[in-house]
Amino acid sequence: MSPSLEKAAAVLRAFTVNEPEWGSRPLALQLGWPRSTAQFYLSGLAGAGFLRRVPGGRYRLSWQLAEFGALLTDALPWFSRARSALADLAQATRGLGFLCVLEEGRVVCIHRALGDPEAHHTAVQTDVTLPANATAAGKILYAYSSAGAPRFECFTPSTITTPDEWAGELERVRADACAHSIEEWIPGHCAVGVPLVWEGEVVAAFGVQLPSSRYLARERQVLARTRQAARPWAGVG
């Protein structure tokens, strides 16, 4: 990748749920660039339609990117049915359904479904990129890929943080064709997921997250519902 493209990509990656707006001065400090360089890329990306300028001389992501995202998911032949099945699973379990894919070693959540409209905000994650070593989605996607070991970041006392633990966990995932995350990422929350298979290949991780008290009281039932919801894409075992 050319240096110019790398800089443009760095600017776009700086926009997150926690940092939805940037001005040239704070962005320059964040990226370690001269302010003139940050302003050059901000204005250039705005001119190309990837950013939009808001009051105060700051920038946000453009809605055009949302259109690109919709085009990307709509082009996936399995996405529409998986999205519908995920909504049904989330409603049946009153949990937070997730649909994730693996892209260059990153676990990317491409869709979520909330089955409990009264859920506390702490139960609703909005992260796009998830930690592979601490999530059910990450375990599934890595178990059925040739990706090397992920970054072992510790989130809770239950998080997997060593290569040996990770290798053993992926063996269990492949043997059971499912993965669990028991308070490994978000304290007080657990998740279960299964692989989605399309044309003989695992294309996504499909599952649901619940508060620990509800999940642990009916772990088998939640797994059974998840498997049932993903049955049209079964094929790993």
Angle between helices 79-93 and 219-229 (to 10 degrees): 160
In the chain the domains, ranked by start, together with CATH numbers, are 3-66 (1.10.10.10), 76-233 (3.30.450.40)
| pTM, two decimal places | 0.75
Residue entry with tokens 């950013």: 51
131 φ, ψ (degrees, to nearest 5): -70, 120
Reading the chain (237 residues) residue by residue, the pLDDT tens digits are: 678 889 998 999 898 878 899 999 999 999 999 999 999 999 999 999 989 999 999 999 998 877 777 677 777 888 889 999 999 999 999 999 999 999 989 999 989 999 887 765 555 566 788 999 999 999 999 999 999 999 999 999 999 999 999 999 999 999 999 999 999 999 999 999 999 999 889 999 999 999 999 999 999 999 999 999 998 766 554
129 φ, ψ (degrees, to nearest 5): -100, 125
Which residues, at least 6 apart from 121, have a Cβ–Cβ distance to it below 8 Å? none
Structure tokens at 63: 């809605």
Give the CA distances from residue 90 to residues 78, 163, 236, in Å, rounded to whole numbers and listed in that order. Answer: 18, 32, 23
Cross-strand bridge partners of residue 129: 108
Residue 9 parent element (H or E)? helix 3-14
Which residues, at least 6 apart from 236, have a Cβ–Cβ distance to it below 8 Å? 144, 177, 195, 197, 202
